[in-house]
Structure 1
Amino acid sequence: MTEKGTHPLTQAYPKFLERLEFVNKTCQELPGKIDYKLVLDSSLYFIHFNDDFEVINCLVPKASSDTWTQQFAKMIGPNVPTSMDLVYNISLTNHFEPLREIAHRIQTYTKFFVHRHPFERLVSGYCNKFVDPPRYEYMNRYAKVIIISNYLKKYPHDRRSFERQYTHLSDSKKQDILKQIDRLGSVQEKFGITFIEFLNYVINTVDESGIDKLDIHWMPVSSICNPCAVHYDIMIEHDYVSEESQLLVDYLQKNKATNAHLYFNKFEKKATRDKCNQYFSDIPLNVRRRLYEIFRNDFILFDYKYDLESKDYFCEENTNN
């Protein structure tokens, strides 16, 4: 990195510069002060680096993070059998180095991240962890919590206690609650989690505990990478992740003695957007409104336009491409 906004790639690819200028301007307009200690404690956990290529990546789950993790593994070297594991151990917080060493990297390395439409990340996170097929560790960790969050916060979680304490409820209401209690015992094997249940859980988590308690796979990008506090050189738009990532890896490989061949496969933007619109088509307006508020900084900072009243298009691309 040189001075803010003067990275060589921002000169070669003006869209990078336009995004940086837009984010920098928008950060000045957002309410609230930046807690730099909180940023240091949280963001550095997600920031990975490579000294040979002098690059720092804030890895954003569900925004081509797996692909970039593979690129970082190639950077470490094809002859290192644990290179994929090493990627996860080279976050700045995993190195017990003086703060001046961390500061040196942040000030001089090329820093970047990939951002993505918030609703697309929600759909991708839901499908990846609970549908295609369900990930055992996530079903084991979240399934019961999601059911309780949606239906059973006010009720006992076993049939006997519920039937003894809530005799005054209507038969239909009791049957609805008992159905959810029964799900607790076999949700992993039989029932799964619906998209609306997942979204309500996200909302309930934020309302009760705050955004920082969300799982990183559906935490706002602005909370993960803090672009208003950390001055990045490159911000890659996920809609163009293949082309723009290739520009970056070509730059990183330039003048570097490496046998690593870094490249990105083509990303199918339309199919992803159609899937997102399909998943949100049945989501009530009040839920979409609350989700917009939770991800408001992402919508504003990365210039994603969203018509809350739309009945067809929920995942439109940003206008500052």
Structure 2
Amino acid sequence: MSAVIYASFFTLVSFDLDKENTEDFWWTDWNEVQRSRRAALNYGCRHVKNARGKSLHKLLTVRKYLYNLLVDDRHKAIYCYVPKVACTNWKRIFMILSGKSNSTDPLSIRSYVPHEEGVLTRLSSFRSRSFVLNEKLKTYTKFLFVRHPIERLVSAYRNKLVINSTSAADFKKRFGVDILRRYRKGDDAQNISKSGDGVTFAEFVSYLIDRRHDSLHSLNEHWALYVDLCYPCSIKYDIIGKYETLEEDSEYILRRIGANPNLHFPPFVTSRTGPLVAGYIASLPDELAEKLHELYKPDFKLFEYEFYN
């Protein structure tokens, strides 16, 4: 429905109708979308086990938990980034918004630059007293982007433990070797790759379930739950963006915070991961698939996603 609304909006613009009317159409429909998403989130926060996470007082006291929240004081905006949910492009945009780049085209910024430590301002890095941070959280426009939890997980698995790249090589050594040692049995255990290559999706999922059981906040940010990265039940986000409506939601955010009218989110490239997800789920034993669903249940419920059957 949202994609249709967005298309309709630009159809109206192309016919050069009254500007005020098209703006009213735009804001009314997207505000309604946001109200619906926030209502589902609030309901989930009250009723879903393990959804609430740390209190706001705890977050403000132990600043490390605010690491994923990026701050743009110029436009009074706070963005909680989630790896594998278009965060590279949104970090590029934040560099432009906050004056960390003179570029006007997000794609002109090399992809590794926004991820370098110190490039963007994190809420966790502020030395201000807690009430100052709390005031930012109360008054700034706060937003995050989410994606189907398992599609995001499959994307992270493929990107960090399957493909051949410099980044993947690092993850394979950090995580792949450990996963193989934990879950390879019998003769296969004698042939564990020192580079961490060859981790199956089932082994990866088993590792996640066991790690989460050991500690609620022990997963790497590329596969950690949204509730552990952005604390949506403790921080009241104004806008909940979704990967499925990425361009529409991004345009909504940029216009709301008063970004330069010429600044837009880069054109959306359809994910190649989506069509593969059902196959990865089918490769898991039923018991393991059920445990995976249970692991990410807070994210499913809070952001209105359904598990693959």
TM exceeds 0.5?
A: yes
From 8, 27, 52, the equivalent of 2:74 is: 52
CA 1:10 to 1:98, structure 2 compared with 1: closer, same or farther past 3 Å? farther
Structure-1 separation of matches of 2:28 and 2:170? 41
User: Which runs of 5 or more residues in structure 1 are unaligned?
Assistant: 1-7, 152-175, 311-321
The 5 Å alignment of 1:1-321 reads 12-31=30-49, 35-36=54-55, 37-40=57-60, 41=62, 43-77=65-99, 78-79=101-102, 84=114, 85=116, 88-134=119-165, 135-151=168-184, 177-184=186-193, 186-188=194-196, 191-207=197-213, 209-254=214-259, 258=260, 261-268=263-270, 271-306=272-307, 310=309
Q: Normalising by the residue count of structure 2, what TM-score does the alignment of the two structures yield?
A: 0.78
**Residue in structure 2 matched with residue 173 of structure 1 by the alignment:** none
Q: What amino acid is the match of 1:242?
A: E
Cα distance in 1, alignment partners of residues 231 and 27 from structure 2:
21
Q: Retained in 2: the 8 A contact 1:74–1:262?
A: no
Q: What letter corresponds to residue 227 of structure 1 in structure 2?
A: P
* Equivalenced residues, count: 269
Q: Distance in 1 between matches of 2:27 and 2:73?
A: 19
Partner Cα distance (2:222, 2:201) in 1: 15
Report the alpha carbon displacement of residue 31 of structure 1 after superposing the two structures with TM.
Answer: 4.1
Distance apart, 1:55 and its partner CA = 0.5
Judged with a 3 Å threshold, the aligned counterparts in structure 2 of structure 1 residues 130 and 34 are, in CA distance, closer, same or farther, namely closer
The alpha-carbon deviation at position 199 of structure 1 amounts to 1.2
| 1:17 counterpart SS class | helix
Shift of 1:128: 1.1
Deviations 1:257-287 (A, max 9, x none): x597232312426x43212223222111111
Structure 2 residue identity aligned to 1:79: N
SS in 1 for 2:265: coil
Q: What is the CA–CA distance in structure 2 between the aligned matches of 1:142 and 1:86, rounded to whole Å?
A: 21
Q: Distance in 2 between matches of 1:61 and 1:54?
A: 22
TM-score between the two structures when normalised by the length of structure 1? 0.75
The residue matched to 2:67 in structure 1 has which SS? helix
Partner SS, residue 234 of structure 2: coil
Per the TM alignment, residue 237 of structure 1 is displaced from its structure 2 partner at its CA by 1.4
Aligned sequence identity (%): 24
